[in-house]
Structure 1
């Protein structure tokens, strides 16, 4: 494999050209700069993915809400005919509105879950820069199409279902893409902490989506979708310009590699290739040694063995990926964990509004605290996993605490604003902590499992299997919540969520037992 200018994103070429003109002799830690850029770009990308998913949960409050308590926009003339219905939106203006809105959630999430498995298969085999940028552009367009229904007065249920389903398909480009890119650039050391901090993009995206939607929900709910859709498309263009999916794309060494070869740039061939005699083998131990042997005039190329692992790796199939120890257990556990998380994602603003006297905007703002707690929970889960080396036990511990916390929030959360805020953050931390750990650090760990050997890659495939299975649960949860809340009330919805967390815990019980047993064996061996 020869690293050519064709592998380098256009934005990075421009930065390299400018830095070469301004600071031609300045030394820099190339790997560290690229790693930082990859974290920032993937963080931006998935923040936008979640930002564009969130508006539907906020807009539900006005699609089937009696508008006498809201302030109409300036272009609405209130008369006796439209006084109580200016923001009620057919076909969501009937008693069955919660069920219909649940169908919209399910259209998105079932399409997302079904397409996720195919998306992981594709992501393993294509350039992830194009994969992510095109996926973000298409996702932004689908979000925009939902918003223009307000502008063009579209009231067809099938239009909304179709747009939501297309959005679900396009959004599957996100998770396998960003996890694989970050996994390519970072080794296994402190992966839980890195992913825990990095995974805050999910909660930040939800928060931004909430705030943007809340800004327009009571005046022109269409903009709640149009603005995130436009931002999503712009972010996709930035990803196209600057993202380097793999270290080799910009001449860096794969993490955890211990061999590389230094190239004598003064003896390169005229066609841009390099002679074997010009490449000298070296061995390094860690990034510091690697950087000490690298310079701007001596670009690096990996050894032939490492290059084979890029060009010659065979992308593993679904059956092979599912045989990796732990994949099925974590996949099914995530099914129930994500069921709980996405029920909150899609229904929390409406629940807060219906269980309190708060208006739609305040309910949307309060619901962001669940995601603030989720950021803390993700980081805590990552730290505990790194420190203990026991991911399943970390998830199980948080599941155990989440069950009583759900019960407490259901029964006393609406008693006062302060209590609601505190319990929302605690619930968010315990619900999203294990969900975050499974979808990031655990997926990356299993995708590079030793059982795969040196000649197979499965990171995107394993990520898609785990997140795809979880996404089926994410589709089931909001659908059931809409039905159960309509016929049995919100207390029954919370009982459903508590049972789901219990099942998620039980599905990990074998892995928890094995981790505890291995820990005891290590302690006895000391």
Structure 2
């Protein structure tokens, strides 16, 4: 297999999903501006009668996005194992460009403000955004084998916080020209990204003839014959695979916390400390930097350990302390950024490991008997369940904040991460026992390979 082709696949899928995330960052980075436009604009009547109503609608938009995104993940994951995944990815990027422009730029340009229109276009945005992750993971699984999978996927899964960082930077740059231009610029970028995906990569190596029949004709023919009889699995069968349910519950709790930072961090910094919106956008980058560090180091360490769950549990336990510190750090930018980075390492880091390395582990375990047409389905199920949890969270976060304040929100996050730990604790105990049996000599098989008949 050509190393150059693998590099291209890695970079294109990394950048393409980074653009997916950058486009989602558009609304979270301009919430103060768009809220002010709804409440006080010379050319139209106020869209809401109070700031509380506007903030509640912003929370509802986030929740509707996540609900649509979660529901569509199950479908797009299922479809990604039945169609060419790069077409699914590109379709989502083109659809995202259209719906994001309609949501964020169209109302401002044409002085058309409607709660129904905002709701419809943002739900549509959530539906097409779900095209990306399951099919991206499936392509990565096709091109990169088990060797150093944790490190490779840890680096690759950092495309999410990298996308957030660039999304925040784009917002800070274009916000002075008007918040509507942040949406339009992100739309142009993701549309161009879709063109690159279609024109530059193949979904699996054997599509471009890397299997040599001349050198190993018999073996390659057997592999080709086996692949031709592979059948995509159902969502129900994917749900029953060893380890899938436990990690779905874990991800439902963890993704709620991770996406709460994604959606609300800039507004929190603006509300709590009266910092300028562009300043808050730039500072929020440190959470994503922490996510990159946690993702890369976590992938490398779990490869060396031979299992992933114990480190994920340790990181989540540390996140509870980090969240407590961040709730009380105060308006000191240096310390705020430092603790925010720690929160990113311990929250975003394990989340990236779960939806990246763990997704591939679960989608390629021995229980599937080598069926490569299960990866997108399993990944969509894992991420979709997490997104459902996140959708629920976006409804109650503004309610908790209005009634009890921001500190109470962070205490809720601490409880949720504790529940995430409990959901995978049995797997953690099993993996620790496995590591002890290996006497820390040869690298133990990764957690999924040892649990073929368990759960």
Q: TM-score range by the shorter chain?
A: over 0.9
Q: Unpaired segments of 5 or more residues in structure 1?
A: 1-29, 68-81, 254-259, 264-278, 282-301
- Preserved CA contact (<8 Å) 2:364 2:371: no
Match 2:53 to one of 90, 96, 111: 96
Match of 2:93 among 129, 133, 136: 136
What secondary structure, in the 3-state scheme, does the structure 2 residue paired with 1:314 have? coil
Report if aligned partners of 2:253, 2:416 keep a CA contact under 8 Å in 1: yes
RMSD of aligned alpha carbons: 2.0
Alignment of 1:486 with 2:402, yes or no, is yes
Q: How does the TM-score come out when normalised to structure 2?
A: 0.92
Q: Does 2:407 align with 1:450?
A: no
Partners of 1:92 and 1:101 within 8 A in 2: no
Report the number of matched residues: 440
Which residue, 317, 321, 342 being the options, matches 1:404?
321
Aligned to 1:318: 235
Query: Aligned pair 1:327/2:327, yes or no?
Result: no
Q: Kindly provide the CA deviation profile for residues 252-294 of structure 1, in whole angstroms up to 9, marking residues without a partner as x.
A: 24xxxxxx5327xxxxxxxxxxxxxxx844xxxxxxxxxxxxx
Equivalent position of 1:284 in the other structure: none
Cα displacement (A) at 1:133: 1.1
Partner of 1:127: 84
Q: Distance in 1 between the 2:367 and 2:340 partners?
A: 41
Return the TM-score normalized by structure 1: 0.80
**Over residues 159-182 of structure 1, what are the superposed CA-to-partner deviations in whole Å (9 max), with x where a residue is unaligned?**
111111101110111001110000
Retained in 2: the 8 A contact 1:47–1:205?
A: yes
Inter-partner Cα distance in structure 1 for 2:82 and 2:427:
31
In the alignment, the residues of structure 2 paired with residue 137 and residue 428 of structure 1 have an alpha-carbon distance, to the nearest angstrom, of 30
Change (3 A) 1:337 1:60: same
The secondary structure found in structure 1 opposite 2:284 is helix
Question: Of the candidates 324, 337, 344, which is equivalent to residue 261 of structure 2?
Answer: 344
Describe the SS at the equivalent of 2:2: helix
Aligned to 1:353: 270
Unpaired runs of 5+ residues, structure 2, are 443-455
Matched with 2:7 is: 36
In structure 2, how many angstroms separate the alpha carbons of the residues matched to 1:86 and 1:93?
A: 15
Rate the CA distance shift 1:525–1:354 in 2: closer, same or farther, 3 A: closer
The match for 2:333 is: 417
Q: Distance in 2 between matches of 1:37 and 1:358?
A: 41
CA contact (8 A) 1:339 1:474 kept: yes
Residues 66 and 328 of structure 1: CA distance in aligned 2, closer, same or farther (over 3 Å):
same
1:93/1:368 CA distance change after superposition, 3 Å? farther
How many angstroms apart in 2 are the aligned matches of 1:377 and 1:190?
16
How many angstroms does 1:219 deviate by? 3.6
- Which of 345, 368, 374 is residue 291 of structure 2 equivalent to? 374
1:262 aligns with: 214
1:436 aligns with 2:388: no
Aligned to 1:200: 158
Q: After alignment, is 303-312 or 137-146 more displaced?
A: 303-312
